[in-house]
Homo-oligomer: A and B are copies of this chain.
Amino acid sequence: MMQLKIKILNIDSGGKPFVFLNDKDADELNVTASERVTVKAKKKITAIVNTSTAIEKGFLGVTEEVRKMLLLKQNNTVTVDIAPFPKSLQFIRNKLSGKKLLYSEIHEIVQDLVDGNLNENEISAFVTALHIDKLDLDEATSLSRSMVDTGKTLSIDKKVIIDKHSIGGVPGDKTTLLVVPIISSEGFTIPKTSSRAITSAAGTADRAEILMPVELTTNNMLKILKKSNGCIAWGGAIDLAPADDMFVKIEFSLHIDPLLLPSIMSKKKAVGATHLVVDIPTGRGAKMKTVGEADLLAKDIIELGSRLGIHTHCTLTSGEQPIGNTVGPALEAREALEVLMNQKDVPDLIDKACSIAGSMFELLGKKDGYVLAKKILESGKAEQKMREIIKSQGGNPLILPKDIPIGKHSLVISSEKSGQILWMENRIIVDIARAAGAPKDKGAGIVFNKKTGDPVQTGEVLFTIYAEKAHKLDRVKYILSTQTPLGIGKRSDMLIHKITESPVVERTFVIDR
């Protein structure tokens, strides 16, 4: 134990409490870098140690996180001691040696994660072990429950709460903007929380934000639901299952997502869902490549739902090309609004929305769900409900498609040959939209004039790229000079590609939750 003087470092450490000790003080405390100390001012916290020769002996460098947690000022004196060994680390080590973890053990890990008591190495090793050794359904259940228990939950005073989720991976998927008003216009409660894009060109929260504020407080959300039955909120603002956000950071960097199921289900459990439809886009370029693979995932999702008390169905939908004709937050919001207003016919988007909304109706006991959903959409009731939700969330209920600003710089890509569109590549489409500025530049994105199966003549426009900043179109041009987002040819063209030397494999990785 020792008394140290505070040195404010004026840096953040990504949400985790970090302190910097002089090497000699660390030796004296018998801690090394990455280990943990307790720091006591008025409160006592556990923080992760960095050792530094640049911190004077007798001082403790603190990041903004620690400064705020303990309300510290320059030269304050604190008591620092070696922290007791976290039990959760022993449980992680057990997982590394192939042991199955019990609920209490997983809860300890998740709690320590949320409290910032685990360092990057430890979290990464845990996630990697879950990925390689697979987590079984018992562990997935324990993880889901622990992630709910360590975050906020929503108490909605309803017997039936319906929700939807997509495992993601298809660009242009603005289905939720249609499904929420369709479902809630029938009087069902749907407390939809959505994420912002991580690897994609737009998350549902990014799309919805074009129409209305999505950073709602829990109280606000409850009020809106009481009034309108439905809402579309950014999940990040209401701190549901915060552990998931920490896991995602690690998964993102490693391109693995063993926590997919607990992540989805914990967030649904946290909002109190009793019924749930999970959409699994399937096919080339989607997260699930084959129907067999998708069916197996669906089986696990349904079983996990049942263990958590959520009656769950899944829909497998075609995920080989963008949904509708637009990609990018503003372009997608505009397209969704046009469809809600019956101003534009976008067959695949409408079919997908009615299939999912229909499944949800059927899960809730209604017959002919698809037909019901389609009727609600065509009758204008969905549009009316959407405007009501927009108003409740503080947006402009009279918004028209033309009010939505789109990037004013554009690049038109025309076909250099005739034939049929044989395929579209989601990964390259996302790369292009992101290079153009999406999702940060909301007006950036792509409008497609052609989709898979369409005939095309030389000189016809294939797609147009929009950007808010002209120089971002240069990055787009560079991508287009080396990769092509769609293939034009004859149906009888057989060769996919030739391999003449060891190929470099670039895999799609999608982790938008």
Partner of A12, one of B54, B122, B507: B54
Q: Report Cα–Cα, A55/B123, bound state, in Å.
A: 26
Residue ID in chain B nearest A92 by CB atoms? B254
Kindly list chain B residues whose C-beta atoms are within 8 Å of the C-beta of A440.
Answer: 27
Kindly list chain B residues whose C-beta atoms are within 8 Å of the C-beta of A115.
Answer: none
Q: Is A129 an interface residue (CB 8 A)?
A: yes
Q: Report Cα–Cα, A61/B63, bound state, in Å.
A: 13
Residue ID in chain B nearest A10 by CB atoms? B54
Contact with B along A246-282 (1 / 0, CB 8 A): 0001100111100000000000000000000000000
Q: Report Cα–Cα, A410/B171, bound state, in Å.
A: 71
Q: Report Cα–Cα, A10/B51, bound state, in Å.
A: 12
Partner of A53, one of B12, B133, B505: B12
Kindly list chain B residues whose C-beta atoms are within 8 Å of the C-beta of A122.
Answer: 124, 253-254
* Residues of chain A in range 493-510 having any CB-CB distance to chain B below 8 Å: 504-507
Q: How far is the CB of A15 from chain B (nearest CB, A)?
A: 10
Contacts A120-B124, A121-B124, A124-B124; A50 near B253 (Cβ below 8 A): no
Q: Is A34 an interface residue (CB 8 A)?
A: yes
Q: Report Cα–Cα, A257/B127, bound state, in Å.
A: 18
* Residues of chain A in range 74-100 having any CB-CB distance to chain B below 8 Å: 90, 92-94, 96-98
Kindly list chain B residues whose C-beta atoms are within 8 Å of the C-beta of A507.
Answer: 93
Q: Is A38 an interface residue (CB 8 A)?
A: no
Kindly list chain B residues whose C-beta atoms are within 8 Å of the C-beta of A142.
Answer: none
Kindly list chain B residues whose C-beta atoms are within 8 Å of the C-beta of A256.
Answer: 93, 96-97, 125
Interface size bucket, A side?
35 or more
Kindly list chain B residues whose C-beta atoms are within 8 Å of the C-beta of A92.
Answer: 254
Q: Evaluate contact between B249 and A128: CB separation under 8 angstroms.
A: no
Residue ID in chain B nearest A98 by CB atoms? B132
Contacts A52-B12, A120-B124; A96 near B132 (Cβ below 8 A): yes
Question: Copies per complex?
Answer: 2
Kindly list chain B residues whose C-beta atoms are within 8 Å of the C-beta of A93.
Answer: 254-256, 507
Q: How far is the CB of A432 from chain B (nearest CB, A)?
A: 14
Kindly list chain B residues whose C-beta atoms are within 8 Å of the C-beta of A121.
Answer: 120-121, 123-124, 250, 253-254
Q: Evaluate contact between A52 and B129: CB separation under 8 angstroms.
A: no
Q: Is A33 an interface residue (CB 8 A)?
A: yes
* Residues of chain A in range 10-43 having any CB-CB distance to chain B below 8 Å: 10-14, 20, 27, 30, 33-35
Partner of A11, one of B50, B123, B124: B50
Kindly list chain B residues whose C-beta atoms are within 8 Å of the C-beta of A504.
Answer: 90
Most chain B beta-carbon contacts within 10 A, residue among A93, A98, A119, A440:
A93
Q: How far is the CB of A208 from chain B (nearest CB, A)?
A: 20
Q: Evaluate contact between B253 and A12: CB separation under 8 angstroms.
A: no
Kindly list chain B residues whose C-beta atoms are within 8 Å of the C-beta of A27.
Answer: 440
Kindly list chain B residues whose C-beta atoms are within 8 Å of the C-beta of A96.
Answer: 128, 131-132, 254-256
Q: Is A9 an interface residue (CB 8 A)?
A: yes
Partner of A125, one of B34, B54, B55, B125: B125
Kindly list chain B residues whose C-beta atoms are within 8 Å of the C-beta of A506.
Answer: 90
Q: Is A335 an interface residue (CB 8 A)?
A: no
Q: Evaluate contact between B120 and A52: CB separation under 8 angstroms.
A: no
Kindly list chain B residues whose C-beta atoms are within 8 Å of the C-beta of A388.
Answer: none
Q: Is A468 an interface residue (CB 8 A)?
A: no
Q: Evaluate contact between A34 and B132: CB separation under 8 angstroms.
A: no
Kindly list chain B residues whose C-beta atoms are within 8 Å of the C-beta of A320.
Answer: none
Contacts A125-B125, A255-B93; A52 near B11 (Cβ below 8 A): yes
Q: Evaluate contact between B12 and A51: CB separation under 8 angstroms.
A: yes
Kindly list chain B residues whose C-beta atoms are within 8 Å of the C-beta of A33.
Answer: 14, 249
Q: Evaluate contact between B20 and A50: CB separation under 8 angstroms.
A: no
Kindly list chain B residues whose C-beta atoms are within 8 Å of the C-beta of A254.
Answer: 92-93, 96, 121-122, 125
Partner of A13, one of B50, B90, B97, B132: B50
Q: Is A64 an interface residue (CB 8 A)?
A: yes
Q: Report Cα–Cα, A51/B13, bound state, in Å.
A: 8
Q: Report Cα–Cα, A55/B506, bound state, in Å.
A: 35
Q: Report Cα–Cα, A250/B14, bound state, in Å.
A: 20
Q: Evaluate contact between B119 and A253: CB separation under 8 angstroms.
A: yes
- Please give the residue numbers on chain A whose beta carbons come within 8 Å of chain B beta carbons, in ascending order: 9-14, 20, 27, 30, 33-35, 50-55, 61, 64, 90, 92-94, 96-98, 119-125, 127-129, 131-133, 249-250, 253-256, 434, 440, 504-507
6 residue pairs, one from A and one from B, having the closest CB atoms: A124-B124, A128-B128, A121-B124, A120-B120, A12-B52, A125-B128
* Known contacts A27-B440, A52-B64, A124-B124; 13 further A-B pairs (Cβ under 8 A): A11-B11, A11-B52, A12-B50, A12-B51, A14-B33, A14-B50, A92-B254, A93-B255, A96-B128, A120-B124, A125-B127, A129-B132, A132-B133
